[in-house]
Amino acid sequence: MINCKACSCKFSVLASQRAHELTGWAAGIAAAAWVIRQGAVGPYHLWMLATVIAGYFGGTAPDWLEQIPWRKNKRWCTHRTITHWVPGWVALLYAANAGLGTYWFCAPLFGFAAGGLIHLLIDWPNPLGVPILWSRHSLKLWKSGHADSFVVAVCWFAAIWIADKLLFGSLHFYRALAFFDWS
Ligand SMILES: [Zn+2]
């Protein structure tokens, strides 16, 4: 168990890791819906499945990319610097999107980039923030790991909403709205 630096509570760091994994899956699902929309699912929907899985890995990537693989708990760069650079992940998403339907690997790459961007979005509200352009910026809303349930719920809701919009023209969303409309 690692203590949270901000307030020395016991759960923070690990809980955040879990939140990044769960929101990575959500990003992968939303990205896969876009891949389906672009007709880039591949044989037996293989590239679509790869997109979902790559979303999971992308969701934690900004953190594990800064680790030196053969040295435990050692980083090659400062935490939340180059691997958390927003324009880098946006460029990756853009490039992967441009190659959808032409190169098979662009589908999983798109999922990976979507997962990475969600990771940055989740890191953004806590005090350390993320490097948007040159310097780090923080929304200063909560400490790392302190709003995980909320963050995960919002991301999953957004992912389902995006998938429904892209694949079914928001059919299920409107049905759900109608269900709650008793006027
Ligand atoms: Zn991070």
How much is the average pLDDT of 13-17?
66
Distance of CA 97 from the midpoint of ligand 1 (Å): 23
pLDDT for 10 equals 46
pLDDT score of 2 more than 50: no
Distance of CA 151 from the midpoint of ligand 1 (Å): 14
Distance of CA 169 from the midpoint of ligand 1 (Å): 33
Distance of CA 42 from the midpoint of ligand 1 (Å): 31
pLDDT tier, 146 (very low <50, low <70, confident <90, very high otherwise): confident
How much is the average pLDDT of 13-42?
91
Q: Which residue from 137, 142, 159, 121 is spatially nearest to 27, judged by alpha carbons?
A: 159
How much is the average pLDDT of 28-55?
96
Mean pLDDT, all residues of the chain? 90
Strand spans (E) along the chain: 130-131, 136-137
Does 151 fall in a domain? yes
In terms of pLDDT, which residue wins out, 112 or 16? 112
Distance of CA 59 from the midpoint of ligand 1 (Å): 9
Distance of CA 84 from the midpoint of ligand 1 (Å): 7
Distance of CA 118 from the midpoint of ligand 1 (Å): 10
**140: left (phi > 0), else alpha (psi -120 to 50), else beta?**
left
Does 120 fall in a domain? yes
Does 30 fall in a domain? yes
pLDDT for 15 equals 55
pLDDT for 145 equals 78
Does 3 fall in a domain? no
Q: Which residue from 112, 77, 118 is spatially nearest to 92, judged by alpha carbons?
A: 112
Does 94 fall in a domain? yes
Domain around 141: 14-178
pLDDT tier, 124 (very low <50, low <70, confident <90, very high otherwise): very high
pLDDT score of 13 more than 90: no
Please, what is the angle between helix 106-123 and helix 46-64, to 10°? 40
Residues, beta carbon < 5 Å, ion ligand 1: 62-63, 123
Distance of CA 93 from the midpoint of ligand 1 (Å): 18
Does 56 fall in a domain? yes
pLDDT for 12 equals 46
Does 4 fall in a domain? no
Distance of CA 63 from the midpoint of ligand 1 (Å): 5
Distance of CA 75 from the midpoint of ligand 1 (Å): 13
- Counting the structural domains of the chain, the total is 1
pLDDT for 76 equals 92
Distance of CA 166 from the midpoint of ligand 1 (Å): 28
Q: Which residue from 104, 96, 99 is spatially nearest to 43, judged by alpha carbons?
A: 104
How much is the average pLDDT of 39-66?
96
pLDDT score of 31 more than 90: yes
Total count of residues recorded for the chain? 183
Does 5 fall in a domain? no
In terms of pLDDT, which residue wins out, 155 or 135? 155
pLDDT for 7 equals 52
**pLDDT over 70 for what percent of the chain?**
91
